[in-house]
């Protein structure tokens, strides 16, 4: 049975978080220089308001398939530097665990409009230093 997810994409494990931003978008992972689509889904920027991670921020992406798979779960960090790669596209690179090893991962988030892309970048830049 798929996890309970609200219309704005909130899912299990987000009970102690405040949502700062959410949007419908497409997520692509760059593998061997080529974009691999992860479908249409919801990207969220949340801030923990209680618990051991209080005050920290994270980015989550859940696809809109039947199982609502969590494809991206990333705490913000000071060196995270999202870049506008077109009027509606944001590129991000970061280290992520892959089979017990840290590996550089590159993603492109394609938003429906430029205002959402710009707001997403601005909010990350404003909040990444506090984590």
Q: What is the pLDDT of residues 70-81, one digit of tens each?
A: 889 999 999 899
Residue among 54, 96, 56 at smallest CA distance from 73:
96
Q: Are 7 and 40 spatial neighbours (Cβ–Cβ below 8 Å)? A: no
CA distance 123 to 113: 16
Residue 30 lies in a domain: yes
pLDDT of amino acid 88: 97
For residues 1-18, give the mean pLDDT.
59
Q: Is the per-residue pLDDT at 2 higher than 50?
A: no
Q: Is the per-residue pLDDT at 9 higher than 90?
A: no
Residue 25 lies in a domain: yes
Q: Is the per-residue pLDDT at 7 higher than 70?
A: no
Q: Is the per-residue pLDDT at 5 higher than 50?
A: no
Residue among 106, 87, 102, 88 at smallest CA distance from 24:
88
Residue 5 lies in a domain: no
With left for phi above 0 and alpha for psi between -120 and 50, is residue 99 left, alpha or beta? left
Residue 37 lies in a domain: yes
Residue 77 lies in a domain: yes
CA distance 111 to 100: 31
The first and second tokens of residue 74, run together, are 């990333």
Residue 90 lies in a domain: yes
CATH assignment of the domain containing 57: 2.30.29.30
Across 6-10, 38-42, 67-71, the highest mean pLDDT is recorded for 38-42
Strand partners, 23: 43
Range of the domain at 85: 17-130
Residue 119 lies in a domain: yes
How many structural domains is the chain composed of? Answer: 1
pLDDT of amino acid 93: 92
For residues 106-116, give the mean pLDDT.
97
CA distance 108 to 110: 6
pLDDT of amino acid 98: 73
Residue 125 lies in a domain: yes
């Amino acid at each position: 049975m798929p996890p309970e997810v609200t219309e704005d994409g909130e899912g299990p494990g987000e009970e102690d978080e405040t949502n700062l931003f959410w949007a419908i978008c497409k997520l692509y992972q760059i593998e061997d220089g080529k974009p691999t689509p992860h479908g249409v889904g919801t990207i969220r920027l949340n801030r923990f308001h209680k618990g051991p991670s209080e005050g920290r921020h994270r980015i989550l992406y859940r696809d809109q398939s039947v199982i609502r798979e969590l494809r991206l779960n990333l705490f913000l960090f000071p060196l995270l530097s999202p870049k506008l790669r077109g009027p509606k596209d944001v590129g991000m690179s970061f280290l992520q665990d892959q089979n017990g090893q840290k590996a550089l991962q590159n993603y492109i988030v394609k938003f429906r409009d430029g205002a959402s892309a710009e707001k997403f970048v601005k909010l990350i830049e404003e909040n990444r230093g506090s984590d």
